[in-house]
Structure 1
């Protein structure tokens, strides 16, 4: 498979979608000097190539009470703990992201909670699988 699956126009379309996925094909076309129909065809192709995997929304967790934001590095106690830990993490609503990592720790998680107490409860549950290191988010820069 070629390393260059998209050209400059595709890349510009992709950048427009990354900035605002609600833009119409016509609006994107005005920015990249194409018809909306041509933009739609290029977007369909990028979806078929799995360059575009889906669409998302930016949101403000604080507006719905999720004021505590933390990054947690997880150190599992044993190899047997991985499957049960992953089942726990995938199902828990407080876990926003989980990544298997190399280097320090086994997994990296982004966790959101409504309070310090809720975060503390989560961390107590996490001790059933291994240990952790936590960093609380003070503010988001980008």
Structure 2
């Protein structure tokens, strides 16, 4: 990987729908050269796929929270099953070390939905919650 590959990744991270001609212009390559570089990045596994960015607030999920989970037992399956059932609220689920066992990034439409989620969660684990005020 060289500086041009890093520029390509930065551009694709901003807009994965960019044409290869536009991408080439931004990184000082021809469209065909940019396409070849992108194909090589895909073939080597550097680019794993393309995705969309969803505006959760426009979907009505205004409440953005992080929940650190502290498990009560060594059997995490009931907790993980609960998390999977609540998947429509969960953006990311990380297994972590240090302060807690899991870190959930969630979006909820209201405080009432957060409260219902936390009521169910307490059957499986303890938690600490942090609410996002503003993304910088």
TM-score by length of 1: 0.89
3-state SS in 1 of match to 2:107: strand
1:28 aligns with 2:62: no
Does the alignment pair 1:128 with 2:134?
no
1:30-51 deviation per Cα after TM superposition (whole angstroms, max 9, x unaligned)? 1122121221111111112221
Aligned to 1:87: 81
SS of aligned partner of 2:98: coil
The one-character-per-residue Cα deviations of 1:76-103 (angstroms, maximum 9, x if unpaired) are 11111x1232233234211110101111
Counterpart residue number, 2:45: 50
CA spacing shift, 1:39–1:108, aligned 2, 3 Å: same
2:104 to 101, 106, 109: 109
CA RMSD of aligned residues (A): 1.3
Change (3 A) 1:90 1:44: farther
Quote the residue 1:3 is aligned against: none
Structure 2 unaligned spans of 5+? none
Give how far 1:119 is off.
0.7
CA–CA separation in structure 2 for the residues paired with 1:129 and 1:40: 49
Q: Decide whether aligned partners of structure 1 residues 136 and 84 sit closer, same or farther in structure 2, where only a CA change above 3 A counts.
A: same
Q: Distance in 1 between matches of 2:53 and 2:128?
A: 27
Q: How many residues align?
A: 135
